[in-house]
Every structure is written in structure tokens, then in C-alpha cells.
């Protein structure tokens, strides 16, 4: 029983030494100062106050904007498709002589 106990202690000591070696090789991070914490709190507070000032769109405005974008996508898609077909015919008949 004493043998198991000493082996356990030895393994723990090895793990502790490995952990210390890893910590020693780790790049040092600057210590957090109260000023850093205060700046972080200030940033969050200011961000939240700015978000309260934002005029968010209504549901009707969001739907209208979405419809405008979808219609524009369809118009541009049709234009590109027609343009592609015209150029395909031009390249096949005029440039390639097929």
C-alpha cells in the first residue's frame, strides 16, 4: 500500500513539474489593471447607450426593404442571363464560325 502511495506522489510531482514548465514557457500577458477594467466597462456602457439611440426600422420597413432587394436581384439576374445568351450566340456564330 505504501508503494502505491509513493508512486502516486511521484506522478503528482511529475505532473506539477510539467505544468510549471508549461507555465514558464507561456508568453506573459500583461497584468490587468483597474484602469483597463474601467476602460472596458466604459466602452460597454457607451456602446449600450449608443444602441439605445439607434432608430430601428419597423416591420413594414424591413419587409419593404427585403422586397426591393429581391426585385433588384431578379432584374439583375434576368439582365445577366439575357446578356450571357446574346454573347454566347455572338461568340459561336461570329468568332468561332459554327
In a domain, 87, yes or no: yes
Range(s) of the domain holding residue 69: 57-98
Dump pLDDT digits (tens) for 13-65: 998 888 888 877 777 766 666 677 787 888 989 999 999 999 999 999 999 99
Which string of b and e fits 73-94 if b means at least 16 CB within 10 Å? eeeeeeeeeeeeeeeeeeeeee
In a domain, 41, yes or no: no
* Contact (Cβ atoms closer than 8 angstroms) between residue 41 and residue 34: no
How many domains does the chain contain in total? 1
In a domain, 6, yes or no: no
Q: Would you state the pLDDT for residue 30?
A: 67
Distance CA 68, CA 56 (A): 18
Amino acid at each position: 500500500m505504501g508503494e502505491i502511495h509513493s508512486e502516486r506522489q511521484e506522478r503528482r510531482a511529475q505532473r506539477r513539474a510539467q505544468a510549471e514548465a508549461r507555465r514558464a514557457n507561456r508568453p506573459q500577458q500583461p497584468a490587468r489593471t483597474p484602469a483597463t477594467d474601467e476602460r472596458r466597462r466604459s466602452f460597454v456602457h457607451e456602446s449600450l447607450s449608443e444602441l439605445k439611440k439607434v432608430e430601428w426600422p419597423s416591420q413594414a420597413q424591413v419587409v419593404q426593404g427585403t422586397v426591393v432587394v429581391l426585385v433588384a436581384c431578379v432584374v439583375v439576374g434576368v439582365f445577366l442571363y439575357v446578356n450571357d445568351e446574346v454573347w454566347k450566340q455572338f461568340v459561336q456564330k461570329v468568332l468561332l464560325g459554327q
